[in-house]
């Protein structure tokens, strides 16, 4: 296969994997503008509406432990296709919901299936590439995927202008159907049959215990989860932050999301461009430094100006998102390289760790803190500080993320794409 064909196929793979990762964030962010309308129809207050996020994330977290191992056993493509079918059906149920409990039940079903693209997609990347090439592809996927939280609430606001809130869930049905067709036609199966694991529940539990009890995995997963937690606190609090604190309307969520996601996309682009030129450890250090400066600036701003206004209220988030995007590919590839035969399980374990943190943020911290910009800023700073301290601990242990495996255990790109 020629190098030009390989590059073209890798670009197509990056676009497809980014699309598969998008329908998770779309499930969260597209409905933000509809919170007032849904709450009014079902008689639900802001705290009850916040549970449409936390229920989704709890289900997402629990099922994230299953997606990866299933893909190690059945193959990547089959598991992704099944997840897309379930997600489409769950979105139909959300669109037809006639009560809040019914909506929450189908939101949980969405959560059970939404993680398949993101989690299995990471394993696909590591199946076909290694070292700097894997970092570049991971960064390309992150850069494209980063647009999802920015455009999702904007799309939600537009759809509300054309019809009632169920139209948002019908949009998700159509989006998942398009991804289903694209995956069936264009996603290659990257895990050969002879490399798949045999179904063995006891071994699966042993593998999970082996991964979760590994101190290095705990440090790496926690560092990434807490660093992103600072950003996710604002994402989960977006309805209150945009509508109540910034005094914008349901069609103006873009003022909050677009700058933040622009920073994330720029960080992902920078990560891809610097792969092989700057050591992964140094790049992650730069990322944590950027996030640290951002949250300190945010704390200072909210202390001086308790009532946030544009553009100053969102500018620190741009730098924070940039730092998160520098850290994420380095930490994720380090975790996957620790378990070359259980990449699906390793990806699931990392996702589960992040999702547990995110579920606590969405279900507990956001409702408590989102009424005051100062409280949000201080909590975000605490998350970044915790992630950075854990990262420092990992560095002091002398087990920094490798630039590339000494002996490549992944197939060359021309062998799979």
Rg (CA), the chain: 20
- Could you tell me the two tokens for 380? 């975000």
Any domain includes 387: yes
| DSSP symbols for 203-258 | HHHHHHHHHHT-HHHHHHHHHHHHHHHHHHHHHHTHHIIIIIIS---TT-THHHHH
Percent of the chain with pLDDT over 90: 16
Distance in angstroms (rounded) separating the CA atoms of residues 159 and 178: 18
- Could you tell me the two tokens for 374? 């100062």
Q: Residues 249-268: what's their mean pLDDT?
A: 77
Residue 150 or 69, more confident: 69
What pLDDT is stored for residue 144 in this prediction?
65
Any domain includes 412: no
CATH assignment of the domain containing 168:
1.20.1250.20
Any domain includes 414: no
Least confident of 58-67, 196-205, 264-273, 333-342: 196-205
Distance in angstroms (rounded) separating the CA atoms of residues 344 and 336: 8
What pLDDT is stored for residue 90 in this prediction?
93
The angle at the Cα of 191, spanning 139 to 350, to the nearest 5 degrees, equals: 50
Residue 326 pLDDT exceeds 70: yes
Question: Which are the contacts of 350, defined by CB distance < 8 A and separation ≥ 6?
Answer: 217, 220, 221, 224, 332, 335
Give the model's confidence band at 149: pLDDT under 50 very low, under 70 low, under 90 confident, else very high.
low
If we measure between CA atoms, which residue out of 268, 184, 129 comes closest to residue 16? 184
Distance in angstroms (rounded) separating the CA atoms of residues 14 and 285: 26
Q: Residues 199-217: what's their mean pLDDT?
A: 79
If we measure between CA atoms, which residue out of 156, 75, 147, 146 comes closest to residue 116? 75
What pLDDT is stored for residue 226 in this prediction?
92
- Name the residue with tokens 């670009």: 11
Whether the bond into 409 is cis, omega within 30 of 0: no
Any domain includes 257: yes
Q: What is the mean pLDDT of the chain?
A: 79
Q: Residues 320-332: what's their mean pLDDT?
A: 86
Residue 1 pLDDT exceeds 70: no
Any domain includes 111: yes
Question: Which are the contacts of 145, defined by CB distance < 8 A and separation ≥ 6?
Answer: 18, 21, 22, 25
Distance in angstroms (rounded) separating the CA atoms of residues 291 and 381: 9
For the chain, the maximum distance between any two Cα atoms, rounded to a whole number of angstroms, is 62
- Name the residue with tokens 């087990």: 399
Residue 417 pLDDT exceeds 60: no
Any domain includes 226: yes
Residue 121 pLDDT exceeds 50: yes
Residue 365 or 411, more confident: 365
Are 295 and 319 within 8 A, CB to CB? no
Distance in angstroms (rounded) separating the CA atoms of residues 187 and 383: 37
The answer to pTM > 0.85 is no
Q: What is the pLDDT of residues 48-106, one digit of tens each?
A: 787 887 788 788 878 877 877 788 788 888 888 998 999 999 999 999 998 889 999 99
Number of domains in the chain: 1
Question: Containing domain of residue 353, as a range?
Answer: 3-406
If we measure between CA atoms, which residue out of 118, 147, 129 comes closest to residue 351? 118
Distance in angstroms (rounded) separating the CA atoms of residues 313 and 372: 12
Any domain includes 69: yes
Any domain includes 303: yes
What pLDDT is stored for residue 345 in this prediction?
74
Q: Residues 174-197: what's their mean pLDDT?
A: 83
What pLDDT is stored for residue 147 in this prediction?
65
Q: What are phi and psi of 155, to 5 degrees?
A: -60, -40
What pLDDT is stored for residue 409 in this prediction?
37
What pLDDT is stored for residue 250 in this prediction?
65
Are 123 and 344 within 8 A, CB to CB? yes
Residue 387 or 413, more confident: 387
Q: Residues 156-183: what's their mean pLDDT?
A: 88
SS3 403: coil
Are 384 and 230 within 8 A, CB to CB? yes
What pLDDT is stored for residue 404 in this prediction?
34
């Amino acid at each position: 296969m020629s190098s030009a064909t390989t590059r073209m196929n890798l670009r197509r793979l990056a676009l497809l994997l980014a699309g598969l990762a998008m329908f998770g964030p779309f499930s969260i962010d597209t409905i933000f503008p509809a919170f007032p309308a849904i709450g009014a129809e079902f008689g639900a207050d802001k705290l009850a509406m916040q549970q449409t996020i936390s229920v989704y994330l709890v289900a997402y977290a629990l099922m994230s432990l299953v997606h990866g191992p299933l893909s190690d056993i059945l193959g990547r493509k089959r598991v992704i296709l099944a997840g897309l079918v379930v997600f489409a059906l769950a979105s139909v149920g959300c669109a037809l919901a006639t009560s809040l409990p019914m909506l929450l039940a189908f939101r949980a079903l969405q959560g059970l299936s939404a993680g398949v693209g993101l989690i299995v997609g990471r394993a696909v990347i590591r199946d076909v590439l290694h070292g700097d090439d894997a970092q570049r592809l991971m960064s390309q996927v992150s850069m494209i995927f980063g647009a999802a939280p920015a455009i999702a609430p904007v799309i939600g606001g537009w759809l509300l202008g054309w019809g009632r809130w169920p139209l948002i869930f019908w949009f998700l049905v159509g989006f998942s159907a398009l991804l289903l067709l694209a995956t069936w036609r264009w996603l290659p199966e990257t895990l050969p049959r002879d490399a798949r694991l045999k179904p063995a529940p006891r071994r699966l539990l042993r593998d999970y215990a082996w991964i979760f009890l590994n101190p290095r995995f705990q440090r790496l997963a926690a560092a990434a989860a807490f660093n992103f937690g600072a950003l996710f606190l604002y994402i989960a609090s977006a309805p209150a932050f945009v509508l109540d604190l910034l005094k914008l309307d349901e069609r103006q969520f873009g003022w909050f999301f677009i700058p933040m996601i622009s920073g994330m996309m720029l960080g992902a682009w920078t990560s891809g461009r610097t792969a092989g030129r700057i050591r992964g450890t140094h790049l992650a250090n730069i990322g944590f430094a950027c996030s640290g400066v951002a949250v300190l600036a945010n704390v200072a701003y909210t202390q001086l100006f308790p009532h946030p206004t544009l553009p100053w209220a969102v500018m620190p988030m741009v730098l924070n998102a940039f730092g998160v995007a520098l850290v994420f590919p380095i930490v994720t590839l380090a975790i996957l390289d620790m378990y070359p035969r259980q990449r699906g399980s390793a990806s699931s374990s990392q996702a589960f760790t992040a999702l547990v943190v995110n579920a606590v943020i969405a279900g507990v911290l956001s409702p408590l803190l989102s009424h005051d910009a100062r409280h949000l800023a201080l909590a975000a700073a605490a998350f970044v500080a915790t992630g950075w301290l854990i990262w420092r601990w990992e560095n002091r242990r002398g087990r920094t993320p490798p630039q590339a495996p000494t002996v490549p255990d992944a197939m060359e790109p021309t062998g799979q794409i």
